[in-house]
Copies of this chain bind each other. A is one copy, B any other.
Amino acid sequence: MNIKKLLEDVKDNNVDIDSALEQLKDLPYENLGYANIDHHRRLRNGYPEVIYCDGKSDDHIIGIVEKMNEKGSNILGTRCRKETFEKISKLYPNAVYEELSKIFKIKNEDIVDNGKGKILIISGGTSDIPVADEAYYTAEFLGNRVERLYDVGVAGIHRLLNNRSIIQSARVIVAVAGMEGALPSVLGGLVDVPIIAVPTSVGYGANFKGLAALLAMLNSCASGISVVNIDNGFGAGYLASTINKLK
C-alpha cells in the first residue's frame, strides 16, 4: 500500500475518511518481496524501526535500512556483523556502532526521554557485558534514562548490597547473568519493582549454553521476576522500556 497516495486521495476527496481509516488500520506494512516492513509502531508512538540482522544477507539489511531511512525514522540494528556495519556506514555516515553489543544506530530524529523513571541494567559478571549492553543501548535508543551496574554477582554479596541505593532508585531492573543465574533472586528480595531476568550463555560444561541460568531464573523463589530468552538483551531492553513508559 502507498500511504502517501491514499492521503492525497483523501485530500482530493477521491476517498472518504472512513474508508481511508479502514485501509490504514491494518496495513502499514511495506512489502519488499523478501520482507514486510512494519511502520506501524513508529506511526503510533515515535518508536524507532528495529532490524534483527542475524541470518539476513548484507543486501537485505541495506535494502531494509534504505526503506526505513526514507521515512526519516531512527533505526536500530541488533546482532550486526562489523563488516555489515562498515557497508552501512559508507552509505549513512551518521551511523554509529557499539562493538561489544554489536548494535548499530542511525539517528534521524532527536530521542525524547518519555519514560517515567530510570531503567537499571545489572550484570553478574564481566563476560555478561555484551548482552547487558544490548539491553542498555536498546532501552536508551527507545527513549529512556538508563544506568549500568556491572560485575556484582551473588558470590560476592557485598558488592551488591553496597549498591543498594542505586538498585532501589530504579523503576525497572534488567538483571543479566550466566552461570547459576542467581542474581534476579537476590534482587527480588531487595526491591519491589519489576525485574526482567536475562540468562546468558556465559559458562561452560553443564551450563549447556545458558540452559542452567535459564532454568534457575524461571524457578526463582523471589516474586516480581520474569524471564526472556537466553542472551536476549534486546528483548529485555524493549520490555523495560514498555514498562517504564506506562502512564
Evaluate contact between A126 and B34: CB separation under 8 angstroms.
Answer: yes
Interface set of A (CB-CB < 8 Å, partner B): 1, 26-27, 29, 33-36, 38, 40-41, 44-45, 50, 54-56, 60, 116-117, 124-127, 129, 150-159, 161-162, 171, 178-182, 185-186, 188-190, 192-194, 196, 199, 201-232, 235-236, 238-239, 242-243, 246-247
Contact of A202 among B55, B162, B180 (CB under 8 A): B55
Contact of A223 among B157, B162, B239 (CB under 8 A): B239
Evaluate contact between A180 and B185: CB separation under 8 angstroms.
Answer: yes
A225 neighbours in B (Cβ, 8 Å): 228, 235, 239
Number of identical protomers: 8
C-alpha spacing A188/B228, complex, angstroms = 14
Evaluate contact between B194 and A239: CB separation under 8 angstroms.
Answer: yes
Evaluate contact between B206 and A212: CB separation under 8 angstroms.
Answer: no
For residue A29, which residue of chain B has the nearest CB? B159
Evaluate contact between A229 and B205: CB separation under 8 angstroms.
Answer: yes
A219-B229 CB under 8 A given contacts A35-B151, A189-B156: yes
For residue A160, which residue of chain B has the nearest CB? B157
A180-B36 CB under 8 A given contacts A60-B126, A230-B205: no
Evaluate contact between B224 and A227: CB separation under 8 angstroms.
Answer: no
A217-B55 CB under 8 A given contacts A192-B41, A232-B205: no
6 A-B Cβ contacts within 8 A?
Answer: A156-B189, A179-B220, A180-B180, A180-B181, A206-B210, A226-B228
